Chain A
Amino acid sequence: MRLPLYGFVEGDTIGVLIMADDGESVRSLANKLRAAVSLRVRTDEDMDVLYRGMVLDPSFTLSQARFEPLQRFDLRRKNGVSESRNTR
Chain B
Amino acid sequence: MLKREEWLSLARKLDWNFSYTTEEKVFPEGISGSPWLPHSVWKNWEESFKTSYREYVENQHDKDMAVYAVRDAVGRLENVQNLATPWINGLKLHAATLPLAEFTATIGNLRSARFGRDSAWRAMACFGALDEFRHTQIPLLLMHELVRWNAQFDWTHKFYHTNNWVAIAARHFFDELTLGQNAIEFQIATNVVLETGFTNLQFVGLASLAHEAGDYMFEKMVTSIQTDEARHAQIGHPVLALVLKHDPEYAQYLVDKWFWRNWHLFSFITGTSMDYMTSGEQRSASFKEFMEEWIVDQFFRMLDEFGLKKPWYWDIFLDELEVYHHMLYATAYTYRSTFWFDFVLPSPADRRWLREKYPKYWEDLDAIWERIGEHWKSAHSSMDGEIPVQAAALLGFCDLCQLPLSAGSPRNNTANVLARNARNYIFCSEPCRWIFLREPDRYAGHHNLVARVLSGEAPADLKALSTDYFQLTPQTSGKDTYAGRYDWLLT
- B-binding residues in A (CB < 8 A): 4, 6, 8, 10-19, 36-37, 39-42, 68-72, 81, 85
Q: Is B372 an interface residue (CB 8 A)?
A: yes
- Quick check: which of B44-52, B130-138, B272-280, B384-392 contacts chain A, the rest being far away? B384-392
Other-chain contact of A13, B330, B375, B389, B460 (Cβ < 8 Å): B330
Extra contacts, 5 of them, besides A41-B367, A72-B415 (Cβ < 8 A), are A12-B410, A13-B368, A19-B460, A70-B417, A81-B411
Provide the residues of chain B in CB contact with A69, threshold 8 Å.
Answer: 424
Provide the residues of chain B in CB contact with A72, threshold 8 Å.
Answer: 415-417, 426
Q: Is B3 an interface residue (CB 8 A)?
A: no
Provide the residues of chain A in CB contact with B404, threshold 8 Å.
Answer: 14-15
Q: Is the Cβ of B406 less than 8 Å from the Cβ of A14?
A: yes
Other-chain contact of B327, A13, A16, A19 (Cβ < 8 Å): A13
Q: Is the Cβ of B372 less than 8 Å from the Cβ of A39?
A: yes
Provide the residues of chain B in CB contact with A15, threshold 8 Å.
Answer: 395-396, 404-405, 413, 415, 426
Provide the residues of chain A in CB contact with B364, threshold 8 Å.
Answer: 11, 81
A6 to B453, CA, bound (A): 14
- A-binding residues in B (CB < 8 A): 326-328, 330-331, 334, 364-365, 367-368, 371-372, 375, 389-396, 404-406, 410-411, 413, 415-417, 423-424, 426, 450, 453-454, 460
Other-chain contact of B372, A6, A19, A40, A71 (Cβ < 8 Å): A40
A49 to B394, CA, bound (A): 20
CB of A17, distance to nearest CB on chain B (Å) = 4
Residue of B nearest to A17 (CB): B394
B375, B392, B413: which has the most chain A beta carbons within 10 Å? Answer: B413
A80 to B216, CA, bound (A): 48
Residue of B nearest to A85 (CB): B367
In the assembled complex, 26 residue pairs joining A and B whose CB atoms fall closer than 8 Å, in A order, are A4-B454, A6-B426, A8-B415, A10-B411, A11-B367, A11-B368, A13-B328, A13-B330, A13-B331, A14-B395, A15-B395, A15-B426, A17-B394, A17-B395, A17-B396, A18-B393, A36-B393, A39-B334, A40-B334, A40-B391, A41-B368, A69-B424, A70-B424, A72-B415, A72-B416, A81-B367
